[in-house]
């Protein structure tokens, strides 16, 4: 069983990750490169001016490096390759998490149920964290990274746990606890910077927030679909289904 989990996880992640890496190249990456131009400006200004200590410019130093290597002019093959690799590794991780949840839940692993699990995973790891921490472009002001990461992980875990409880237990008290778990991180609130300092145009940031969520949804759903299809394919070959 473990062998099949690893095989399905690897292949589903590889194919979905590769497809989404191509999608990113044409959707999110151009917006990131455009934002880095504003990030460089902000960094140059920060060097000349006093910046309040409680404002941390996202990605200090990176914009400068991007500018030094030509900024958005020209295609950076190394950067595209690394982004593709990181997306594929993330997709393999997503595939294994979907499989883990489906095996723990019991029942059939097919593309319909896998799509349902993938959608729930997107709600937990995409939509719910984005409610507090909108997907950000380089150059935007943000609260300290660790605080945001802790809030993000707690929100994803509580939302996933809450959805699980809500679906698996029909009792009123269980559903009340489930809803409280999903709402809790938003009642506490995500860490935000003391002031907003971004030079990135709001239109660009808004477009990026929507695009980034759509890309994450495509990654979860295509990974889920492939997990279901591949699992069924291997089950048929083993003569199980």
Partner 1 sequence: MTAVATARVASRAEAFKVALLAFVLGTGLVFVTGFAHPDTIHDAAHDTRHALSFPCH
Encoded tokens for 83:
């982004």
Which of positions 112-141 make contact with partner 1 (CB under 8 A)? 126, 129-130, 133-138
103 CA to centre of own chain? 23
**Cα separation, 112 vs 52, whole angstroms:** 51
Residue 222 and residue 231: Cα distance in Å, rounded? 14
**Of 175 and 204, CB closest to partner 1:** 204
Among 118, 141, 219, 225, contact with partner 1 (rule: CB under 8 A): 219
Our finding on whether 149 is near partner 1 (CB under 8 A) is yes
Residue 103 engages partner 1 in binding (rule: CB under 8 A): yes
Measured distance CA(92)–CA(53) in Å, rounded: 39
What letter would DSSP give residue 97?
H
Of residues 34 through 63, those in contact with partner 1 by CB under 8 A are 56, 58-60, 62
Query: CA 73, 74, 79 angle in degrees (round to 5)?
Result: 105
DSSP 241: -
Is 198 a binding residue for partner 1 by CB under 8 A? The answer is: no
Residue 154 binds to partner 1 (criterion: CB under 8 A): no
Return the range that interacts with partner 1 (CB under 8 A); candidates 21-29, 112-120, 169-177, 196-204. 21-29
Q: What's CA 120's distance to the chain center, in Å?
A: 13
Q: Which residues bind partner 1 (CB under 8 A)?
A: 1-2, 5, 9, 24, 27-29, 32, 56, 58-60, 62, 79, 82-83, 85-87, 89-90, 92-97, 99-101, 103-104, 106, 126, 129-130, 133-138, 142, 145, 148-149, 152-153, 208-209, 212-213, 215-216, 219
């Amino acid at each position: 069983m473990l062998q099949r989990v690893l095989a399905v996880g690897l292949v589903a992640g590889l194919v979905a990750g590769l497809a989404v890496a191509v999608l990113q190249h044409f959707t999110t990456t151009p917006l990131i490169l455009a934002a880095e131009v504003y990030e460089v400006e902000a960094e140059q200004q920060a060097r000349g001016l006093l910046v309040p200590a409680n404002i941390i410019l996202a990605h200090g130093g990176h914009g400068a490096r991007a500018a030094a290597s030509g900024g958005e002019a020209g295609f950076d093959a190394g950067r595209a390759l690394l982004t593709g690799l990181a997306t594929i590794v993330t997709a393999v991780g997503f595939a294994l998490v979907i499989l883990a949840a489906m095996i723990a839940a019991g029942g059939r692993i097919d593309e319909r149920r896998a799509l349902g699990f993938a959608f729930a995973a997107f709600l937990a790891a995409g939509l719910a964290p984005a409610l507090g921490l909108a997907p950000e472009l380089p150059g935007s002001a943000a609260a300290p990274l660790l605080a945001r990461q802790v809030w993000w992980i707690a929100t994803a875990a509580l939302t996933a746990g809450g959805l699980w409880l809500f679906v698996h237990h029909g009792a009123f008290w269980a559903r009340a606890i489930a809803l409280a778990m999903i709402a809790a991180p938003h009642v506490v609130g995500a860490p935000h910077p003391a002031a907003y300092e971004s030079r990135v145009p709001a239109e660009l940031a808004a477009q990026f927030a929507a695009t980034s969520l759509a890309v994450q949804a495509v990654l979860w759903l295509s990974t889920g679909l492939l997990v279901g299809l591949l699992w069924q394919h291997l089950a048929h070959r083993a003569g199980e289904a």
